[in-house]
Amino acid sequence: MNTKIGKLSSTAFTHLVLAGYTLLAMFPIVLIMINSVKSRDGIFDNPLAFPTSETFSLVGFHKVLAKSPFLHFFQNSLTVTIVSLVLILLFAAMAAWALSEYKFRGNRWLAVYLAFGIMVPIRLGTVSILKLAVALEPFHMGVNTLAILILVYVAQGLPLAVMILSEFMQQIPKELKEAARCDGVGEFKIFFQIILPLIRPAVATVAVFTMVPIWNDLWFPLILAPGEETQTVTLGVQQFIGQYVTDWNAVLASLSLAVLPVLIMYVFASRQLIRGITAGAVK
């Protein structure tokens, strides 16, 4: 009997801690969301209440969308993130394939060279990256272009992606490639038609580790592309809030707008995302 009571109380403790922390994790985000759809009075009179018919108001969103090209910022962020991700995946997969499949002189050194970038933050090279961006201006890849952001993010994301994909490729059975070679299939065809489709499960893992930091980055947009035309959401929100810091409706609405797309993506992809992290982390 005693063991049963003990079990029950330990289960209760477990859920108390987990639920408590879950609440703590959720509270700030929920608080911002519910207050973003309230009138100014509603926000200040009772911040913890859900909007009622009296306090409900979308004025914040109207202001944000009127005063700043929010949708344009989204478009920029989306372009930068997706193009970077595609390039990272493609180039990293190609490099990972060469490094794990072909034994050539300098193979190890090249792998170490690429792996170096996993631990050393690319930010430390900012002084020279800015110099480089200025030099690339004539090629439309200079300061205040999305192209320079993409190039920097690809360089930032490649090392980890190469490592994850290499490990994944080493698990692809040898027989598969050898069967293809026996049939006389060329190396490029093997890569694009056999290997690429096979590494799809690793894409989730790579995507988490590369996409999130790109979408959320403030540093490089601030330094390389601060112009209105090329601002990403993160930078745009930062600038907007700096400007309208006293307009609580607008601030709350802009924060909600910035959180919403990530939230929506998470609702659909969280399962796969978490599985990807757990699987990738065991290595």
Radius of gyration, alpha carbons of the chain: 24
Determine the length of the chain. Answer: 283
> Is 29 a binder of another protein (CB under 8 A)?
yes
The candidate with the shortest Cα–Cα distance to 70, out of 241, 202, 248, 282, is: 241
Which residues ranging from 93 to 112 are in contact with another protein (CB under 8 A)?
94-95, 97-99, 101-102, 104, 110
Which of 147, 219, 244, 272 touches another protein (CB under 8 A)?
Answer: 219
> Is 92 a binder of another protein (CB under 8 A)?
yes
Binding mask of the shown chain, residues 52 to 81, with x at each position contacting another protein by CB under 8 A = ------------------------------
Which of 37, 43, 202, 206 touches another protein (CB under 8 A)?
Answer: 43
Q: How far apart are CA 18 and CA 8, in angstroms?
A: 15
The distance of closest approach from Cβ of residue 172 to another protein in the complex, given in angstroms and rounded to an integer, is 15
Percent helix, strand, coil in the chain, to 5, is 80, 0, 20
Closer residue to another protein in complex, CB, 72/238:
238
Burial class (CB in 10 A: 0-12, 13-18, 19+), 219: middle
Q: Which amino acid appears at position 127 of this protein? A: V
Closer residue to another protein in complex, CB, 24/66:
24
Which of 50, 56, 116, 139 touches another protein (CB under 8 A)?
Answer: 116
Nearby residues of 78 by Cβ (< 8 Å), 6 or more positions away: none
Which residues ranging from 181 to 200 are in contact with another protein (CB under 8 A)?
181, 187-188, 191
Closer residue to another protein in complex, CB, 66/127:
127
How many other CB atoms are found less than 10 A from the CB of residue 132? 16
> Is 224 a binder of another protein (CB under 8 A)?
no
Closer residue to another protein in complex, CB, 132/172:
132
The distance of closest approach from Cβ of residue 23 to another protein in the complex, given in angstroms and rounded to an integer, is 9
The distance of closest approach from Cβ of residue 62 to another protein in the complex, given in angstroms and rounded to an integer, is 20
Are the beta carbons of 268 and 81 closer than 8 angstroms? no
Q: How far apart are CA 283 and CA 275, in angstroms?
A: 14
> Is 119 a binder of another protein (CB under 8 A)?
yes
> Is 129 a binder of another protein (CB under 8 A)?
yes
**Continuous segment of H or E residues that includes residue 146:** helix 146-170
